[in-house]
Amino acid sequence: MTPAALDALARRAEQAGLNAASAPREAQVDGWLLRLSPGKAKRSRCVNALAAGSLPLDEVLRRCRAAFDRAGLPLMLRLTPFSQPVDLDGQLAAMGWRDFDPADVMVLPSLDAFGDAGGLTPLAPAAYADLIGTLRGSSATEIDGHARRLEQATVRHQAFKMTRDGELLACGQVAIDTAGDLASEGGIAGLFDIFTPEDQRGRGHGWRLCAALLAEARRQGASSAYLQVGAANDVARRLYGRLGFLQAYRYHFRSDDPRAWA
């Protein structure tokens, strides 16, 4: 894949990821998108600096902080190679804002290799939020917030599990975005919340789940895919690499509030 093609797909993945992470509570401040929903996923409770506006940075941050204070959330920003202004990360670093939780966005240029979506059992949004929240030790508030985001998301999240003899092997979600420019090449699918119970790891269940989700996405018209994975999660990165995913870009969060990275 050429660097130009990879960059184009990375930008499509970033837009699709923003669409897929839409939250019930959102606001705009001078070109920045504020997501203000409680839950475990930081993507639903952070600021995405989408455009450089006209206000001084201190004023934009003041207004963002006021919105997050009203929502009872710590202010945090998600920084990507596409954040605006282009030197925003450096400005925040100079102000003493801590960086944390780096994650990689990986992309898959083609779904042509995936043809078997068998073995998947669909789950309703609330049922999936409860399942994945329980597996991850989420609080009742976080589980409820996750369920509401799934039910109200502008891009439909389809949740599935794989079981054998009633025992959970793996579970995950796929969100297929065919809106606007993302539909020009057949739509793009995002994999989310991929999880294998600890006692089932190392047996290939995660790979089979992802392959089946990608096959389902292809069946529904998607032509490419993306996902987000913790930068330190080497096991997951290797799994996704075996599926054909390529490293596209890395993002991280910054905040001056210790609650954000606790």
In this predicted structure, the answer to whether residue 182 has a pLDDT above a threshold of 60 is no
Which phi-psi region, left, alpha or beta, contains residue 140 (left: φ > 0; alpha: ψ -120 to 50)? alpha
Mean pLDDT of the chain: 93
Q: Residues with Cβ < 8 Å from 74, sequence gap 6 or more?
A: 68, 255, 257, 259, 260
* b/e 70-82 (16+ beta carbons within 10 angstroms → b): ebebbbbbbbbeb
Q: In whole angstroms, give the CA distance from residue 43 to residue 67.
A: 16
Q: Taking 80 as the threshold, does the pLDDT of residue 2 lie above it?
A: yes
Note the pLDDT tens digit of each residue in 41-76.
899 899 999 999 999 999 999 999 999 999 999 999
pLDDT in tens, 191-242: 999 999 999 999 999 999 999 999 999 999 999 999 999 999 999 999 999 9
Q: Which amino acid is at 104?
A: D
Is pTM beyond 0.85? Reply is: yes
Tens of pLDDT, residue by residue over 115-150, are 887 889 999 989 999 999 998 888 888 888 888 888
Percentage of the chain exceeding pLDDT 70: 98
Tokens 């960059």 correspond to 7
Residue 24 binned pLDDT confidence (cut-offs 50, 70, 90): confident
